[in-house]
Homo-oligomer: A and B are copies of this chain.
Amino acid sequence: MKKRYFPIAADAPPPLSVTVQRRVRFEEVDAIGYVWHGRYASYFEDARVALGARYGLGYMDFYRRGVIAPLKQLHVEYHRPLRFEDDFTIEARWHYSEAARLNYEFIIRDSTAAAVATGYSVQMMLDGDNDFLVVPPPFYQQFLRRWRAGELQ
């Protein structure tokens, strides 16, 4: 992926990433024999959830601390089809940002490592009144400090 989905500061620490392994399920395939395009949101989510879980910062971790982090944008580019029972991987890369938002980039690859789909998602942090947070909450700022310090892996 040469294209940059997000503006990234020159001194930003490298993204955090995780890759999950999946196989196409029968219900995910459409009448033409390919994975239905709408399923990719769910594939991206598998990797985003895995990455959130690794750092204790999943949807429900935010929610329990009074912060909702709903999707504001989702973008998918489809390069090749997947078929029933195909094996594939989903890589999520969490890009560093000091704003009250979460920037994830995704790459789905088939078993030959060819790119099947790429894309990104943006989440904004809201407080209990559904108002946008101007700065991230303290628990998240601490996470950013550890990220900058290279303490996460």
Residues of A within 8 A of B (CB): 25-27, 29-34, 36-38, 40-42, 45-46, 49, 53, 58-60, 63, 68, 70-78, 81, 84-85
Contacts and interface: CB of A to CB of B under 8 A. Distances in A.
A93 to B, nearest CB: 19
A113 to B, nearest CB: 19
B59 A26 contact: yes
Copies in the complex: 4
Contacts of A85: 49, 53, 58
27 contacts: A25-B46, A26-B49, A26-B59, A27-B38, A29-B30, A29-B31, A31-B31, A31-B33, A31-B60, A31-B84, A32-B63, A37-B41, A37-B74, A38-B38, A38-B41, A38-B74, A41-B41, A49-B85, A58-B85, A70-B78, A71-B76, A71-B78, A72-B78, A74-B74, A74-B76, A74-B78, A75-B76
